[in-house]
Structure 1
Amino acid sequence: MPLALLALAIGAFGIGTTEFVIMGLLPQVAGDFGVSIPTAGWLVTGYALGVLIGAPLMTVLGTKMSRKRVLLLLMALFIAGNVLSAMAPTFGVMVTGRLVSSLAHGAFFGIGSVVAADLVAPEKKAGAIAMMFTGLTVANVVGVPLGTFVGQSLGWRTTFFVVAMIGVIGLAGVAKWIPEMPRPEGVRLGHEFAAFRNTQVLLAMAMTVLGFGGVFAAITYIAPMMTEAAGFAESSITWLLVLFGLGMVVGNLVGGRFADRALMPMLYVSLGALSLVLALFTVTAHNKITAAVTITLVGALGFATVPPLQKRVLDQASGAPTLASAVNIGAFNLGNALSAWLGGLVIAAGFGYTSPNWVGAGLAAAALVLAVLSGALERRDIRCENPVAADAAFEPAHVVTERH
């Protein structure tokens, strides 16, 4: 792996750890501040909303700076937010700390995706993006379970101090290994915003919101779901999160590999399977073995959508991808916020800790509908532009051979 991609992966590891570690610590944080589990869920929702706001905001603020300098600034902001979270005297300050750290999230992954794609050949772009996101997925195998264990053993505040130190390492990696990559000449902010007039860009972002939102509907409340429904001990949450993280690693790599070959079919399969597995989770969550298997599948299928969706946005906004890429990262977190909120609503309404899985299944199914629509519109546009080539492209190879 090029050292520049390794630097991006280290930063992604720190960001992924702070984003997901709160799931395993939610009961401890809620108890410490004297709030309910659904209220503590705002630490997830607030973070996600911060990513949604911070992605375009920080990207716009960085339009006059080199991409490397923006990445350094974002890592510094990430460190400050985690230190504030670790020292928070009240729940409100804790939410503020989460918001501060979240401002770095969207722009880091958005700009990082562009940098990663620029470092490799065109046919390897999705793989490079997936390599950067490997830091995020590995965080769920190592960082999140370790952070959960540290939080349960030494207190959740210690976890956030450790995450801040990971951020320092990420900052050093970006400073040392990311090359100076100035913003391309001739690209203006208005040019960046023009990408949002592309229907395919908007459809891809909507798929992002709904598809990954389906994952978070289940995972946000994984700790109470597994202890109350499956009967796991609180200490078991750590290794359950390891299984989720392992699924993410596999799904991310598979998604990156096949997105460079057959992007839309990869989305159809992963989103359809994700919806089905989330629906089944309402049943499998009541058994320890099936619950553990399902958690792994949710991680794998959820992250199999990430590289193709991110590459889809980069392809469709190829003339000015930076802002669109960052906003799409925000779209992932809009889905997180929406699903965490909806999951909290159904729990608060008395439907039980497994009920968010139904929310997730519905969101993933809606994303699949949009993916099918997006593919149909793309085929229509190709046929309108070049009917002969389109007919050849969509016919079996032996038919084309016989015709000619």
Structure 2
Amino acid sequence: MSHFDRQARLTILSLAIGAFAVGVAEFAAMGLLPYYALDLGVSEPAAGHAVSAYAIGVVIGAPILAVLGAWLDRKTLVLLLVAFYGVANLTSALAPNLDLLVASRFLSGLPHGALLGVSMLFAAQLSPKGRGAAAIAQVLTGLTIANVIGVPAAGAIGQSFGWRWCFVIVGAVTAISALMLFRVAPSVPRDKSLNPLSELSALANRDVLLTLLVAAIGFGAVFAVYAFLSAAMIDSANAPVWSIPLALSAFGIGATLGNFIAGRLASWSHFGGALVLLIGMILAALFYTAVVGNWMLMTVAILIMGMTAGLVIPIQMRLMEVAGTAQTLAAAMNHAAFNAGNALGPFLAGQALAAGYGWGVTGQVGAALAFGGIAMLGIAWYVAKRNPRLGLPVEA
């Protein structure tokens, strides 16, 4: 193995550790909501504002930081974003009241999209030709392993020693990621032809916007089911308490496996890979609806649903294909789009539950959203096939 190959592998590992920290911070914060609500003396719905503030931060921060980061080379940019993320999460650990916790969670969300987006681009840039999708999958493995190990561990630590320790741990992990990146990541010169204006061109790129809509609508299917999984297992299946973390870990295991599958699918075809994963979402969501009331089969269903979460990979590869000089913004907006799906899925599923339908309706809502993602994917493929831009390849 050459020195550069070893350097690239260590850099991708460092980026995956940063993604692990992001996964723990985002998902464990949801599970710890009752604990910081109690500690801060507020209701759980009020404490939920901290979770919403994070998602809003992701959507707002992704384009702004990606545009500003166009002036920097990717090593410097990712180092700054990791440091920003770590410090913001440490401020969450120190928040004395709900208002400051909400503010700190908003700040923590700001670098989320740009950090993961730039990490994926950096990994792909360091990989041999034809191995970009595999490198992106390796970075995202950190995110999925967070759901298998990090989130349950952080939840247990938070329950035993206090919710603030979750954010202290995230700060420590980001420090490890930053130190490794500083030591091993190569300095790749910035393309001086790129600037904030060239990044903003992504917002006027038809193919970029259609691809982002596939993610925003389609990925809502996963969270329509995931957001209400714990409540559905307890209420409809009388599941034992220990089965909840088991089911959440099953989702993470499925997502870890799904990343490798999605990497191979994306290498075969960006459009085709996305289609296969969206069809998988429909089947998993309908299976979930059919087995609600049986917590063991619900766990199997959420594992299968997790295997489709690798949709982010073919979407990212398609964005890299069509974004032109706006690679950083497009990659960051990919994660903003997935967070939009994170908001859309639970909202629509919640509306259906409030209307009096049973727990199985969340799977039906998920299937409908995945179908909507397929419809949007079909539009994106048709438009690109009919009017290809700049000679860029359009896959069958």
Same fold, TM-score > 0.5, yes or no: yes
Trace 1:320-335 onto structure 2 (pairs within 5 A).
320-335=326-341
- Is the CA contact (8 Å cut-off) linking 2:247 and 2:299 kept in structure 1? yes
Identity percentage of aligned residues: 38
**Are 2:375 and 1:359 aligned?**
no
**Are 2:187 and 1:180 aligned?**
yes
Q: Are the structure 2 counterparts of residues 163 and 222 from structure 1 closer, same or farther at C-alpha, using a change threshold of 3 Å? A: farther
- Is the CA contact (8 Å cut-off) linking 1:285 and 1:354 kept in structure 2? yes
- Is the CA contact (8 Å cut-off) linking 2:280 and 2:305 kept in structure 1? no
Q: Are the structure 2 counterparts of residues 353 and 47 from structure 1 closer, same or farther at C-alpha, using a change threshold of 3 Å? A: farther
Deviations 1:38-97 (Å, cap 9, x if unpaired)?
554444332222111111111222222222222122112211222222233333322222
2:123 corresponds to: 116
Trace 1:1-400 onto structure 2 (pairs within 5 A).
2-33=9-40, 39-303=46-310, 305-348=311-354, 350-351=356-357, 355-381=361-387
Structure 1 alignment gaps of length 5 or more = 395-404
Q: Are the structure 2 counterparts of residues 298 and 27 from structure 1 closer, same or farther at C-alpha, using a change threshold of 3 Å? A: farther
TM-score (norm 1): 0.88
- Is the CA contact (8 Å cut-off) linking 1:66 and 1:183 kept in structure 2? yes
Q: Are the structure 2 counterparts of residues 152 and 228 from structure 1 closer, same or farther at C-alpha, using a change threshold of 3 Å? A: farther
Quick check: 36-45 or 98-107, which moved more?
Answer: 36-45
1:402 corresponds to: none
Structure 2 alignment gaps of length 5 or more = 1-7
Quick check: 270-279 or 27-36, which moved more?
Answer: 27-36
Q: Are the structure 2 counterparts of residues 229 and 152 from structure 1 closer, same or farther at C-alpha, using a change threshold of 3 Å? A: farther
Q: Are the structure 2 counterparts of residues 354 and 78 from structure 1 closer, same or farther at C-alpha, using a change threshold of 3 Å? A: farther
Quick check: 40-49 or 64-73, which moved more?
Answer: 40-49
Aligned partner of residue 48 in structure 1, secondary structure: helix
Q: Are the structure 2 counterparts of residues 177 and 64 from structure 1 closer, same or farther at C-alpha, using a change threshold of 3 Å? A: same
Once the two structures are TM-superposed, the CA of residue 35 in structure 1 deviates from its matched residue by 5.2
- Is the CA contact (8 Å cut-off) linking 1:44 and 1:337 kept in structure 2? no
How many residues align? The count is 389
- Say what the alpha-carbon RMSD is for the aligned residues: 2.6
Once the two structures are TM-superposed, the CA of residue 37 in structure 1 deviates from its matched residue by 5.0
Once the two structures are TM-superposed, the CA of residue 210 in structure 1 deviates from its matched residue by 1.2
- Is the CA contact (8 Å cut-off) linking 2:67 and 2:199 kept in structure 1? no
Once the two structures are TM-superposed, the CA of residue 121 in structure 1 deviates from its matched residue by 2.4
Q: Are the structure 2 counterparts of residues 107 and 214 from structure 1 closer, same or farther at C-alpha, using a change threshold of 3 Å? A: same
Structure 2 CA distance for aligned equivalents of residues 248 and 4 of structure 1 = 22
Deviations 1:202-231 (Å, cap 9, x if unpaired)?
111001111222212222233323222232
Deviations 1:1-56 (Å, cap 9, x if unpaired)?
71111111111110111111133334434444555555544443322221111111
TM-score (norm 2): 0.90
